Amino acid sequence: MELDRVYTFECAASFGTLPQSVVNTLFTDGRHAAGFLERQLEIWFPNLKFMDGRGFDHQDEQGTRYEAKCFTPRGADYSASKFKGAGRRINLTEHAETAKQLIYIMCDVVDFPVVHVLFKRGETLLARYPNGKIPFNQRSQLFIAGDTC
């Protein structure tokens, strides 16, 4: 697992008798894909252990904390969930303090069942996207063509 390297996977997903096209469309929404991806990541990257900790999802053998986030057709928001939702405002100082302690696992689900995975230091994301939001038009710059796994 390397920082700034794009890994590409294909995910087979189904549910009951739903057509494949419906399942694939559902998984382009981070709200649907996130829980599945959090568990899949520890299989794709066996040195990660799913923790579901407060403020992070995974941890490696060295104690480094990782937070998985989905990049969707609406872009990505890597701020903490407590800053999301109607009437909530982001505290940029607190957001920056948290981000500096994490490595983000950015999971691009736009072309599901193809999923691109990128490990990015929070400090790196903060330098370019200090408000925690990555617009969709930055997708190609964030997920620079990488290796296929």
Task: Evaluate whether residue 88 is within a structural domain.
Answer: yes
Q: Of 70, 86, 88, whose CA–CA distance to 11 is shortest?
A: 70
Number of folded domains that form the chain: 1
**Of 35-49, 70-84, 99-113, 122-136, minimum mean pLDDT range:** 70-84
pLDDT band per the 50, 70, 90 thresholds, residue 87: low
pLDDT, tens digit, 9 for 90 and up, residues 124-142: 999 999 999 999 999 998 8
Task: Evaluate whether residue 1 is within a structural domain.
Answer: no
Task: Evaluate whether residue 83 is within a structural domain.
Answer: yes
Structural domain that includes position 56? 6-148
Q: CATH number of the domain at 44, please.
A: 3.40.210
Q: Of 44, 84, 83, whose CA–CA distance to 66 is shortest?
A: 44
pLDDT band per the 50, 70, 90 thresholds, residue 55: confident
pTM equals: 0.89
Check if the beta carbon of residue 34 is closer than 8 Å to that of residue 28: no
Counting residues of the chain whose pLDDT is more than 70, the rounded percentage is 89
* Phi, psi dihedrals of residue 132, rounded to the nearest 5°: 85, 0
Beta strand 6-10 with 56-59 is unpaired
Task: Evaluate whether residue 26 is within a structural domain.
Answer: yes
Computed over every residue of the chain, the mean pLDDT equals 89
Task: Evaluate whether residue 42 is within a structural domain.
Answer: yes
User: Whole-angstrom Cα distance, residue 95 to residue 113?
Assistant: 31
Collapsed DSSP state (helix, strand, coil) of residue 23 = helix
Q: Mean pLDDT across the stretch 70-80?
A: 90
pLDDT at res. 146: 47
